[in-house]
Each structure stands twice: as structure tokens, then as C-alpha cells.
């Protein structure tokens, strides 16, 4: 348990940041899921639209420190390839 005033404050800050980061991660997953569903349905137009909406959301996760840059880069690349294959 936190004893010093500094460690108590840190614990409060960590709780707040955890709530915010959890919400951000969940939001990103929702955007990615929409792309996955559009790809599964076979609708190239909606898949492209969902992908274009998901891309900046994923990049924002990197700038906020929720996800690692390489992870997001890999996921965007793989989604883009699947959307492109669907359109072709």
C-alpha cells in the first residue's frame, strides 16, 4: 500500500490513466472489429471506409502511448493488404 504522499498521488494518477487507456484501447479494438466485419461480409466499399476511419484512431493510440508503434504499423499493414485484396 502507498505510504508517502507522493506514492498516494501516484496511485491516484495511475488509476485515472488506466481508465483512460482502457477506454482508448477498447475504442481502437471497436474500429478494427468494424473493418474485420466489413472484410468478412465481402463489401469492399464499406471495408475501405471502415479502414480509413480506423487508421487515424490506431495511430492516435501510438501517440498516446497505449500501443507500441511497431504493433500498430503491423496491424495497419495487414488490414490494408486484406482490404486491397478484397477490392481486387
Q: Calculate what percentage of the chain has a pLDDT beyond 90.
A: 95
Neighbours of 68 (CB within 10 A): 11
pLDDT at 1 exceeding the cut of 80: no
* pLDDT recorded at residue 80: 97
Exposed, middle or buried: residue 58 (CB in 10 Å: 0-12, 13-18, 19+)?
buried
CA-CA distance, 48 to 45, in Å (whole number)?
A: 5
Over the stretch 3-17, which tens digit does the pLDDT of each residue have? 999 999 999 999 999
Which domains does the chain show, CATH number per domain? 5-87 (1.20.58.110)
Amino acid at each position: 500500500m502507498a505510504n508517502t504522499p507522493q506514492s498516494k498521488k501516484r496511485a491516484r494518477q495511475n488509476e485515472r490513466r488506466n481508465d483512460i487507456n482502457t477506454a482508448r484501447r477498447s475504442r481502437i479494438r471497436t474500429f478494427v472489429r468494424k473493418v474485420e466485419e466489413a472484410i468478412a461480409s465481402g463489401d469492399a466499399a464499406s471495408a475501405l471506409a471502415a479502414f480509413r476511419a480506423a487508421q487515424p484512431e490506431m495511430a492516435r493510440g501510438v501517440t498516446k502511448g497505449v500501443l507500441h508503434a511497431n504493433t500498430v504499423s503491423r496491424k495497419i499493414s495487414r488490414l490494408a493488404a486484406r482490404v486491397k485484396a478484397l477490392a481486387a
